[in-house]
Structure 1
Amino acid sequence: MPNLHFDHWPKISKSLKLPETSLYENLKVSAARYPDQSAIYYYGNTISYKELDEEVNALAGFLQQKLGVTKGERVLLFMQNSPQFVIGFYAISRADAIVVPINPMLTAEELSFYIKDCGINSALVGQELYDKVEPLIGTTPLINVVVAAYSDYKGVEFKGILPPEVEAARKVFEQPGHFHWKEAISAQYEPRAHTTQADDLVVLPYTSGTTGMPKGCMHTNRTVQANTIGAYHWSSSTTSAVHLTTLPLFHVTGMVHSMHMPIYSGSTMVLMTRWNREAAVELIQSQGCTHWVAIATMIVDFLANPKLKQEDIATLTSISGGGAALPEAVGEKLYKLTGLRFVEGYGLSETIAQTHFNPPDRPKMQCLGIPSFDVDARIIEPSTGKELGAGEIGEIVMNGPQVMVGYYNRR
């Protein structure tokens, strides 16, 4: 494996030994170590690690005992950032099933493809998205729907900016095969023993479909752990870190850096259901956020806020992200305001987020960075496969522990 990038490697190990445990067991360990630590802050409400693990187990039991979810079954997770998304993801994993997280912006027709492709029988759905799901019950394999109201988890006395989806009261669904989230949790079904192994599938994030039909990327607990633990060490997260969670959690970058990694480290997630720059400032200031993973468009909008003051965001110690490169002028403006350089990275759905990232102590603007832990990355001439040298233009090929094991249901 080429090692020229080691010249720029921060003063940490160059290789990682990955655990033989499941993703759910990260939560189990954090709940045992830090039961009273705040796992989630959501618009005035705090959920401890003990409470989070209890709700995950209750929902896992409901999935297994009431809905008949079995090991390896695909379960749809169709909602916006919320405590229910986090609980739902880890409950599906706790139930030894496979999470299928889908973009809430999709239409009913688009959603139909994913349900059929995965043969999905059961779904966890935000109530604001139910109208997209309803016509698919009976016309696709979908049978059971657990409907979540985000307002069930917001703080009663919260006076800040609330998205309409979080303000909306819980709706009533009485059709067969429909279940209210709170009723599913309060039923307190006992889950069966957790038998998932490191190489069992845990999540199927779909590609965007820009070069053809979307494809489900088969990720095991091991491939997700590779980037979860890699992100933990690279970002210098601690139990006292507070992560502003603005990226959508259905997407691999938000999923790994703003959910799995904080849970692994036993730190706090400050969840935003919808992006709002004024709300972001309020939350950074009131909750003392230290880490923020974002995309360039969020940073541009955030810095365009005429009310933004340096002291409002003084607690931030790390700002990073991926997607499109951050314009250099915006990066300089961010640095002057915060004293922090934006740390860019690069990755794919097929690699469950990062394969490359910039050294946090010396990031380079508009650069995808250096290969991550144990990643072999090269530039080749695509028509011949010839490996190219420095300064030559070609395509990136890579191999590493975070690479998916294949595309679901594709030959």
Structure 2
Amino acid sequence: MDRPHYKFWPKRLPHSLTVPATSLWDNLATSARRYPHKPGLVFFDRVTSYAELQRQAELLAARLHALGVRKGDRVLLDMQNCPQLVIAHFAILRANAVVVPVNPMNRAEELKHYITDPDAKVAITTGDLAAEIAKADAQLPEAQRLRHLVVTQFTDAFDPASPDGGPMPAAWRDWLLTRHPLPQLASGEVHAWTAALDNSLPLPPLEVGPADLAVLPYTSGTTGNPKGCMHPHRSLMHNAVASATWGNGTCETVALVVVPMFHITGMVSAMQACIYMGASIVLMPRWDRDVAGWLISNRKVTSWTNIPTMVIDLMASPNFANYDLSSLVHIGGGGAAMPQAVAQRLLEQFDLRYVEGYGLTETAAPSHSNPSDAPKQQCLGIPFMSCDARVVDPETLRELPPGEQGEIIMHGPMVFDGYWKRPEATAAAFVEFEGKRFFRSGDLGRTDEDGYFFLTDRLKRMINAAGFKVWPAEVEALMFKHPAIQEACVIAAHDAYRGETVKAMVVLRPSHKGQVSEQDIVDWCRETMAVYKAPRIVQFAEALPKSGSGKVMWRALQEAEAKH
């Protein structure tokens, strides 16, 4: 393999890494021992030191062990960004168990799969989401239900009356300040977070190492239900260390973390990388441009991993001129292309080169990234540290020369072990190439003469809505539960802000024609599924185009939409 991209490799960095042969828990324990009094987390007015972060994680780990959690057990973690997410994530690892991160936008119908597929018996969540988990749990057969639910309130982690916490948008106040009553579990116990941590229980021995399963994040695909990606400690460890190294991170890094930590990018390139370095994490529970501007200015943020739409939104704020971005030395992200004009403005106005990267849940976030000294705009970058990536013909697996479009495949220590309980899907996701096991990304791309990778199209059917991946088959499977829907086909529609948005072509059952409007279907979808997946546009049709074998020809509908 020719490696022209090595000419652009950051000069001080090796091409591959030797990473610690320890568990992810050891990263927190080591940073707490080295920097006990250093800020680990900053959330509104509350600063949590590394020593305190370790202490609380160990208390929760002891409680989880007392509740019956054992090595290899899967524990659901369903939260927006807050200190409790970080504490619970590391507590689960310290209890020798496996984190199952869940998108907090998921509704009861979706949550049932996240309880049953990983055989989870314990879940940890926030008060605003607890009732939805309890609702999902109650609809399951008794043998598949949760035994324990630990519930925290956002105000367990900050003082809303403190003047030092910075701005709180009016839209956040009810959400963050309400202390929700604890729900009932159909066949189990519910525990308040504060009571769970108030214990003197013994900690179990740490029994997990690099090869043990650490995290089971779910990703959808061309079939209906999401699949769990089996990531051992070693794959996340590699990309945590590599992300820190690639981004010139040190223990003095102050990172703004607003990308969600239930998602692989926020979990690995932000949370895990920062904990490994002993850096300080400034947490935002969700996006708000003026909160972000205030935090960068007042907390002297040095590093910000984001989705390009966040940067566009911040720069469009009427208050933007009042913010001081001079502390930033590293800015980058992925999930969607950064518009060239915005990247150029960042460079000219702030001397910041926006570093775009690329990766998937299956590759523990980055498999590619732009070198910070030589980034190309609207480009995936070059293969990441220790990663071997190629562009091949999807049919013959012949490697293609620069400029020719093919499927991007990757091999390296960041690649997952396979899909949970899905041996057929695992087998289909990998190919043997030059004697090594390569993961098939399902994305079509090309390289240029310098060895940089560019995304050109998708082999898989997927919609990218402001960085959120929406898999039409999953949305269709949920839509078929509506009594009025006979057929549904989900496609991408153009959206000026999100890039793409979700559109559903729907054929109604004859019995419901005239009884249900397109808006009724939109409203039902928003109630039934995560809001980013829910179709924003529904269009009724008398029939959907079909192939000779009776399959819906979604591509014909997609092409017709693209011509509008």
For the superposition of Structure 1 and Structure 2, which TM-score range results when normalised by the shorter chain?
over 0.9
User: Deviation digits for residues 207-266 of structure 1, max 9, x if unmatched?
Assistant: 133554311100000000110010011001111110000100011111112200010000
In structure 2, what is the equivalent of residue 133 of structure 1?
133
* Structure 1 pair 3–211 and aligned structure 2 pair: CA distance change class (3 A): farther
Map of 1:72 onto structure 2: 72
Report how far residue 309 of structure 1 moved.
2.2
SS at structure 2 position matched to 1:244: strand
- Distance (Å, rounded) in 1 between the aligned partners of 2:75 and 2:25: 16
Closer, same or farther in 2 for the Cα pair 1:64/1:383, shift >3 Å? same
**1:329-368 superposed matches below 5 A:** 329-368=341-380
2:9 match = 9
Q: Which of structures 1 and 2 has the bigger CA Rg?
A: 2
**Are 1:10 and 1:361, in contact at CA under 8 Å, matched by a contact in 2?**
yes
Q: Which moved more, 1:85-94 or 1:174-183?
A: 174-183
Is 1:126–1:149's contact at 8 Å kept on the other side of the alignment? yes
Q: What are the within-5 Å matches in structure 2 for residues 6-405 of structure 1?
A: 6-11=6-11, 12-65=13-66, 67-138=67-138, 139=140, 140-155=144-159, 156-157=161-162, 158-161=165-168, 163-164=172-173, 165-169=175-179, 171-172=181-182, 177-209=189-221, 212-309=224-321, 312-405=324-417
Bigger shift: residues 320-329 or 209-218: 209-218
Partner Cα distance (1:319, 1:306) in 2: 21
Measure the CA separation in 1 of the matches of 2:349 and 2:9: 27
Letter in structure 2 aligned against 1:406: G
**1:137: how far off?**
3.0
How far is 1:91 from its partner? 0.3
State which drifts further: 401-410 or 138-147.
138-147
Q: Which amino acid in 1 is paired with 2:54?
A: D
Give SS of 1:202's match. strand
Amino acid at match of 1:230: A
User: How far off its partner does 1:346 sit?
Assistant: 0.4
Query: Do the aligned partners of residues 53 and 294 (structure 1) sit closer, same or farther apart at CA in structure 2, a change above 3 Å counting?
Result: same
SS at match of 1:77: strand
Of 222-231 and 156-165, the range deviating more from structure 2: 156-165
User: Could you tell me how far apart the structure 1 residues matched to 2:278 and 2:411 are?
Assistant: 29
SS in structure 2 opposite 1:100?
Answer: strand
Partner Cα distance (1:38, 1:127) in 2: 26
Aligned partners of 1:190 and 1:299: how far apart in 2?
A: 46
Residues 130-176 of structure 1 show CA distances to partners (whole Å, capped at 9, x for unaligned) of 12111233524312100010111113413521523322235345765
Task: Give the TM-score, by structure 1 length.
Answer: 0.97
Would you say the 8 A contact 1:344–1:357 is kept in 2?
yes
Give SS of 2:320's match.
Answer: coil
- Aligned residue for 1:312, secondary structure, equals coil
The amino acid of 1:96's aligned partner reads N
Deviates more, 1:283-292 or 1:3-12: 3-12
- CA RMSD after TM alignment: 1.5
Aligned length: 410
Contact 2:32 2:54 in 1 (8 A): yes
- Give 3-state SS (helix, strand or coil) of 2:100's partner: strand
Q: Is the 8 A contact 2:108 2:133 kept in 1?
A: yes
State the 4+ residue runs in structure 1 displaced beyond 6 angstroms: none
Tell whether the 8 Å contact from 2:127 to 2:182 is kept in structure 1 after alignment: no
TM-score (norm 2): 0.71
Report sequence identity in percent: 42
Distance 2:239 2:2 in 1: 20
Equivalent residue letter for 1:160: P
Measured in 2, the distance between the counterparts of 1:299 and 1:227 equals 24
